[in-house]
Amino acid sequence: MIHNKTKLKRIKYSFLILLAISFASIGYNNAFAQTTVGLKTDSGTSIPDTLLFKLQKAQGVVTQINAANKKGYAAEKVRSEIVDIKNNVAPIQTDLGVRGKIIDPKTLISYNLILNNSQERLTALQKTLSKFSNDLQTMSNQVVELSNDSLLNVGKNDTTARTLYTKQLIDIKQRLQAAGQLTTANLDTVSRLLADVSETYLKTADLQASITDRMQTSGKSAFRKESPYIWSAPTEKNDDNIGAMLKSTYIGQNKILGYFINSTWDNRVLLILLGGVFFLWININYRRAQKPDLRQQIGEIDLKYISHLPILPALIFILNLTPLFEPDSPSLYIELVEFALLLVLSAHFWKRIPSKDMRHWLVIVGMYMVIMFVTATVHDAVFLRVLLMAINIGSLYVGFKFYQRLKEINISKKLVKPILIIYMILNLLAVLLNAFGRITLAKVYTLTATIGLTQIIGLAVFIQILSDALELQIKVSSCRGGLFARLDVAKTRASFKKALAVLAIILWVLVFFINLSIAGGVFAFVQQVLVKPRTFGKVSFTLSNILFFSVIVYVSNILQKHIGVLFGEKSVTFSNHVEHKSSKLTLIRLVITIVGVLLAVLASGIPLDKLTVVLGALSVGIGLGMQNIVNNFVSGIILIFEKPFEIGDYIELADKKGKIQDIGIRSSKMLTQQGSQVIIPNGDLLSNRLTNWTLNSAYIKSEILFKVNIAADLNAVSKLIQEEVDKAEHTVKNMQAEVLINSVAADAVELKITVWIESIYIEPAFKSMIFNQLISRFTQEQIKIM
């Protein structure tokens, strides 16, 4: 009964579920039918595909134009750059346009640099504007094409589906029209800028051609008479053009200076950073020297040219190195730098030199200022020309007095004498050239001579400042056990001064060439000589390759010789203590040598096929007569890795005993007890029988032989010897000494004492001490020594 009821309930539930599914299906079919009917109703008013595509295309063009306009075409920036270029070119055009004016070659070179830079900037602007113009033209064509499209136009009598989108079509038509107007305006602006750029470029090209023509003729006309002789010169400059000349010169030089300063700021920043490092170097060493632990060792620091706050020395350092960092600088820049150096030197000399010398120095500074002013304003008028001649004669007198006082001045006479002679020759030539109407050359020689004299004084102070800074570093480093504690200080000072003298000569010659406007020509000539291809048989090479090859080999040789100093290597001495040193430095030297040779070969430019020929010839040489060299070289490498001995070991080879001082690539050095150095080929060290007394420890078993009378009590003698050995110093206490009978004769017994001592280096002194003590005891005990 219960089972039947359960069955009825299940049937009832199934029926209800089926009923619900039926109702749901009917509802879904009705909704689907309604949707289908709706779709059929709208199908008659659907939009054609072509119209939709045109609307999307027009919308895309409008969006593109709006995006491009939002980004902008940098019209203001381009216009500002064009104005800047025109401002750079205008003074050059004005200066070149002054009738009858002779422009010196160094100014022409500077003008040419400005014009080259202007042309590069104009070329970049032209490329940018051309791209903008092409883009705008493309967008303009798209706007015109879409505006003329009849599909996007809706007429009053139009009965097509477009009438449903009249509002959208009118809106897109208006937006296309606005976009077209904006594109046309931008295209007009870009076209005007492009025309302005083209016009400016042509102007710079014409000016550059004029400068090139003047530079070609300047060498021929350098010594040509440009003004009347001094005895025929007018009392006043009647030409109304003198004002324009001076004005154009000032504006042109000012533009050259501004251009150079703006274009070489990175070199100036690097130089200033180097000056800051120099300042910190001195300041840190002064602070270290003032610490209590070093102050007592160093004592009072009395350095004349530097102090704990070296502001002026750092400025002198920077101003002297300026020509080296800016070799292409115009002469006006060098004149201003030299004037700044004179002012800094004046402040530095204040209260450092005697008042008499200070007055002489101020005379030189005043003479420099007067010469700068006069050379900038001198022209054909006789008064200014006579004034310039008087200044040249006064400069000759100053140079003569300076030459007489060389003994009292703390400057290298080998460095100053040639410069003083050049100074006097240039002033004499300036007088003669002025008298015969060559005013431009007279001004150039006058300025060059004056700057040369003042510069050498600045360079002398520069050398002394660096020497004092090195001296301070030596004191601090030596007391702290640093690098200079391992160097030969006297040799280091001498090498440093030589290097500074070479640097001073380079700086002086560089400024000399710049002032004479021949720096570019000299550099070009040297470059041409170095890079010109040359042939030797079938081998092609250049002098620059040979120069690089020589420099790399020289530097690698110097580096491998002195690399030990950087790792704390000290020279081995024959002291009583054992000091082992690693032979890794020899391996480092070998690596430096190999790398240096490889770099030198790469720098030489020798082709690999030619290099194989060289190696083949080298192998023939090895087979014929270089076996010993190669043998020693390979033996040196084996010694480095096998390590039968190390630096500091005491070895015995044949009849030589001594301490290994150095393990080289080809040979090694032994320091004997007599103080002599023995150079031993590495092949001999590897092939011959070698005794290393200090490989594991420095202990050595020393033997002492002597004879006593045969009637002596040997037990008492042995006991006495044992007592004396036990009291002796430098013996190994845990190793008992032995007294043995070595031989017996008719009237004597030979005894042998074996005792372990701490080091082989003290064996001779130990034997002497033991013999001395035994003789004294045997005499007291009345034991007869035979």
For residue 314, name the pLDDT band (cuts at 50, 70, 90): very high
Contact 735, 756 (CB under 8 A): yes
Average pLDDT, stretch 361-376?
Answer: 84
141, 298, 468, 475 from 289: Cα distances, Å: 79, 7, 14, 8
Q: Which residues pair with 703 in a beta bridge?
A: 754
Q: The tokens of 616 are what?
A: 């083949």
pLDDT at 18 over 50: no
87, 218, 635, 676 from 686: Cα distances, Å: 78, 72, 6, 22
Higher pLDDT, 721 or 4: 721
Query: What's the chain's length in residues?
Result: 786
Contact 174, 224 (CB under 8 A): no
Question: Where does a domain end: 483, 517, 551?
Answer: 517
Closest C-alpha to 285, from 322, 254, 314, 310: 310
pLDDT at 9 over 50: no
* Residue 273 pLDDT: 93
538, 539, 608, 666 from 617: Cα distances, Å: 16, 15, 14, 21
- CATH at 753: 3.30.70.100
For residue 120, name the pLDDT band (cuts at 50, 70, 90): confident
**Residues 412 and 391 placed together within one structural domain of the fold:** yes
CA distance linking residue 211 with residue 441, whole number of Å: 19
**Residues 586 and 735 placed together within one structural domain of the fold:** no
Q: The tokens of 121 are what?
A: 């900037």
**Residues 390 and 328 placed together within one structural domain of the fold:** yes
Higher pLDDT, 160 or 348: 348
Closest C-alpha to 609, from 539, 667, 524: 539
**Residues 256 and 157 placed together within one structural domain of the fold:** no
Q: Determine the structural domain holding residue 641 and report its residue range.
A: 532-692
For residue 2, name the pLDDT band (cuts at 50, 70, 90): very low
Q: Is residue 176 part of a domain?
A: yes
Looking at this protein, which amino acid is placed at residue 584? Answer: K
Q: Give 755-768 as a DSSP string.
A: EEES-GGGHHHHHH
Residue 700, classed as helix, strand or coil, is: strand
* Residue 593 pLDDT: 79
Higher pLDDT, 133 or 615: 133
Closest C-alpha to 593, from 568, 570, 569, 560: 560
Tens-place pLDDT, residues 21-44: 343 343 434 433 333 333 333 333
Q: Is residue 229 part of a domain?
A: no
C-alpha angle 565/567/570, rounded to 5°? 50
Contact 785, 707 (CB under 8 A): yes
pLDDT at 393 over 50: yes
Average pLDDT, stretch 207-220?
Answer: 74
Closest C-alpha to 113, from 90, 134, 141, 92: 92
User: Whole-number mean pLDDT of the chain?
Assistant: 75
pLDDT at 577 over 70: no
Q: Is residue 228 part of a domain?
A: no
Q: Which of 83-87, 401-405, 504-508 has the highest mean pLDDT?
A: 504-508
Average pLDDT, stretch 684-711?
Answer: 75
* Residue 723 pLDDT: 82
Contact 583, 663 (CB under 8 A): yes
**Residues 71 and 118 placed together within one structural domain of the fold:** yes
Contact 545, 533 (CB under 8 A): no
pTM of the model: 0.63
**Residues 489 and 566 placed together within one structural domain of the fold:** no
H helices within 626-662, ranges in order?
627-642
**Residues 483 and 551 placed together within one structural domain of the fold:** no
* Residue 34 pLDDT: 39
* Residue 276 pLDDT: 92
Helix (H) / strand (E) containing 748: strand 748-757
Closest C-alpha to 101, from 92, 110, 109: 92
pLDDT at 575 over 70: no
Closest C-alpha to 511, from 313, 755, 327: 327
Closest C-alpha to 749, from 722, 709, 692: 709
Give 779's contacts (C-beta < 8 A, 6+ positions apart).
Answer: none
Find the range with the poorest average confidence among 141-155, 594-608, 614-628: 614-628
Average pLDDT, stretch 589-598?
Answer: 79
For residue 4, name the pLDDT band (cuts at 50, 70, 90): very low
pLDDT at 709 over 70: yes
Q: Is residue 230 part of a domain?
A: no
* Residue 152 pLDDT: 63
Give 117's contacts (C-beta < 8 A, 6+ positions apart).
Answer: 259, 263
CA distance linking residue 771 with residue 768, whole number of Å: 5
C-alpha angle 117/118/121, rounded to 5°? 90
Tens-place pLDDT, residues 278-309: 999 888 888 888 887 777 777 777 788 888 88
Higher pLDDT, 562 or 189: 189
For residue 411, name the pLDDT band (cuts at 50, 70, 90): low
Average pLDDT, stretch 737-765?
Answer: 80
Q: Is residue 110 part of a domain?
A: yes
Find the range with the poorest average confidence among 4-18, 168-182, 458-472: 4-18
Closest C-alpha to 142, from 155, 127, 152: 152
Tens-place pLDDT, residues 611-649: 666 666 666 665 555 677 777 777 777 777 777 777 777
* Residue 33 pLDDT: 38
CA distance linking residue 411 with residue 784, whole number of Å: 76
**Residues 352 and 279 placed together within one structural domain of the fold:** yes
Q: The tokens of 248 are what?
A: 């154009």
Q: Is residue 237 part of a domain?
A: no
Find the range with the poorest average confidence among 361-370, 500-509, 571-580: 571-580
**Residues 716 and 675 placed together within one structural domain of the fold:** no
Q: Is residue 522 part of a domain?
A: no
**Residues 312 and 449 placed together within one structural domain of the fold:** yes
Q: Is residue 223 part of a domain?
A: no
CA distance linking residue 645 with residue 695, whole number of Å: 6
Instruction: Provide the b/e sequence for 452-470 (b: ≥16 CB within 10 Å).
Output: bbbbbbbbbbbbbbbbbbb
pLDDT at 676 over 90: no
pLDDT at 456 over 80: yes
**Residues 631 and 705 placed together within one structural domain of the fold:** no
The answer to whether the Cα torsion of 537, 539, 542, 544 is positive or negative is negative
Give 672's contacts (C-beta < 8 A, 6+ positions apart).
Answer: 574, 656, 657, 658, 659, 678
Number of domains in the chain: 5
Residue whose token pair is 């078993």: 701
Looking at this protein, which amino acid is placed at residue 347? Answer: A
Instruction: Provide the b/e sequence for 626-657 (b: ≥16 CB within 10 Å).
Output: eeeebbbbebbeebbeeeebbbbbbbebeeeb
Question: Where does a domain end: 622, 657, 692?
Answer: 692
**Residues 299 and 444 placed together within one structural domain of the fold:** yes
pLDDT at 84 over 60: yes
Higher pLDDT, 412 or 220: 412
